[in-house]
Chains A and B, each alone.
Chain A
């Protein structure tokens, strides 16, 4: 009898439904329906609000492909994503390696927490904090002029490098986290064995450590590249007039120009690009899992 009750509660969707339904209903209303609605609206001439006449059209997509501005900006955003991702690999991977293979015990735990802590704090505020550092007469300027014998003017604020610095600062903890998880899983005895067989440090890195930690690198790269391509707040604050990217154009359609159907089309194109990238990354990730 008891066994029957137990197995009875373990089978079937129907008994799971009362617990599942509220959460998934909420996700449907607030995520999946909106994403579908966005696709629908992107084929309209006008929003069907306040009695305006509307009809279906391909114009919104046509204007993306006919006006070089949008393609140029999408290319600029993809390049931004690529550069930020590369910097995150260059800066984050060695840090993940030191955390996983050099540090031990409590100091490793504490430093690991310190590295990923900022990533859970407010992103907007952290971007703003760079404005304090980068502007002319800011801290970097003052500090460098106090140390260097000659006078230089550091005014990185409102420039492309400022956007890169801010974004790398925001996203490098992702790379440290994902690489750390895969590096930590590499058995130390494997490294010792390779070394005792005469492999140099560089050979070990190239032949063993980097290939084994590839899933972490790919996961980190996907997690960074995708949001950077869609970023708009960071370029706005740190890039000023030079900070026009694909994301800021979408923002404009919704908060300044009020051309929502075009904004929806631009958003959907971005979503398609993002999905292609995630699909490309998924074989490597699945092999790891």
Chain B
């Protein structure tokens, strides 16, 4: 038993080492955004100057605004369309259903480099071109499969007898959906929406190929800035992004269990 306890102790230590590996770089980056030296020199001296500079940087500001706008619109569209599709897949039996479900995986599994360049070619070819509208088209398509998968998972826990019961009590299709089904799957819909927001807000590759100099999103702007050279301003804006997206995922975790233990 002594060896068992020793091994368990090693296991715990190992997990903490892994967490250190995952979090230390991000923490260091965040700390450097509060450091006076623009060349990341130590010793550490506290300042919020870089955040103040960020406030005056119009380019980053408008990119942030674009990112938020696109993420919010993506969330609304992908959540509505995705939830509707999940309901249809849950309620109806028809030939080719398996194919439709299988079609959800290419957008998730194919590397974004391929999807992004393909969108660039196609949107150019049909006259949509590049810019915010093209980025929005792409983001919704990338987010849809996540919403459908998450909402469908929640629907698996729904008892179809509830719909039957409501119908036999005289409720019509709309009433059944709004008053019975939707309230039950709401946690799944909210989680799906949060996933959609995260997919869009953090998306870099597809936005990168679809953006133009004036119409761009925050990650694309950061990438351009990194390639010009590192400045604490990038640390500051990166810190804000990471805090926002981690808070968002913690929120999602309240509605959706990642471990699948439910």
Contact = CB atoms under 8 A, between A and B. Distances in A.
Contacts of B168: 2
A114 B23 CA distance: 9
Contacts of B49: none
Contacts of B15: 95, 98-99, 103, 111, 115
A280 interface: no
Interface in B67-104: 81-82, 84-85, 87-89, 91-96, 100, 103-104
Contacts of B163: 6
A24 interface: yes
B161 to A, nearest CB: 10
B205 A233 contact: yes
A25 B173 CA distance: 24
Interface string A17-50: 1011011101101111111011001000001110
A69 to B, nearest CB: 18
A19 B25 contact: no
Interface in B116-168: 117-125, 137-138, 140-141, 144-145, 148, 163-164, 167-168
Contacts of B242: 121-122, 125-126
Given A30-B140, A102-B8, A121 B115 contact: no
Interface string A246-287: 010011001100001001100100110010001000000000
Most chain A CB within a 10 A radius of its CB, from B96, B227, B238: B238
B50 interface: no
A38 B118 contact: yes
B19 interface: yes
Chain B interface bracket (under 10, 10 to 19, 20 to 34, 35 or more): 35 or more
Contacts of B117: 38, 250, 254, 263-264, 267
A106 interface: no
Contacts of B204: 122-124, 233
A169 B21 contact: yes
B180 interface: no
Interface in A109-130: 109, 111-118, 120-126, 128-130
Contacts of B241: 121-122, 125
Contact of B113 (A35, A94, A114, A232): A232
Nearest to B128: A29
A29 B137 contact: yes
Nearest to B123: A34
Given A6-B164, A120-B198, A267 B22 contact: no
B167 to A, nearest CB: 6
3 closest Cβ pairs, A-B complex: A230-B111, A30-B141, A34-B122
Interface of B: 8, 11-12, 14-15, 18-19, 21-26, 28-29, 32, 40-42, 81-82, 84-85, 87-89, 91-96, 100, 103-104, 106-107, 109-115, 117-125, 137-138, 140-141, 144-145, 148, 163-164, 167-168, 173, 198, 201-202, 204-205, 208-209, 219, 222-223, 226-227, 230, 234-235, 238, 241-242, 245-246, 248-250, 252-253, 258-261
Given A48-B125, A91-B18, A120-B249, 5 more contacts: A13-B95, A22-B84, A112-B258, A114-B19, A125-B26
22 contacts: A6-B167, A10-B92, A16-B88, A24-B103, A26-B137, A34-B123, A38-B118, A91-B18, A111-B15, A115-B22, A120-B248, A121-B242, A122-B202, A122-B219, A124-B222, A124-B223, A226-B109, A226-B111, A230-B114, A250-B117, A264-B118, A274-B111
Interface of A: 2, 5-6, 9-13, 15-17, 19-20, 22-24, 26-27, 29-35, 37-38, 41, 47-49, 91, 94-95, 97-99, 102-103, 109, 111-118, 120-126, 128-133, 137-139, 142, 169, 172-173, 176-177, 180-181, 184, 226-227, 229-233, 236-237, 247, 250-251, 254-255, 260, 263-264, 267, 270-271, 274, 278
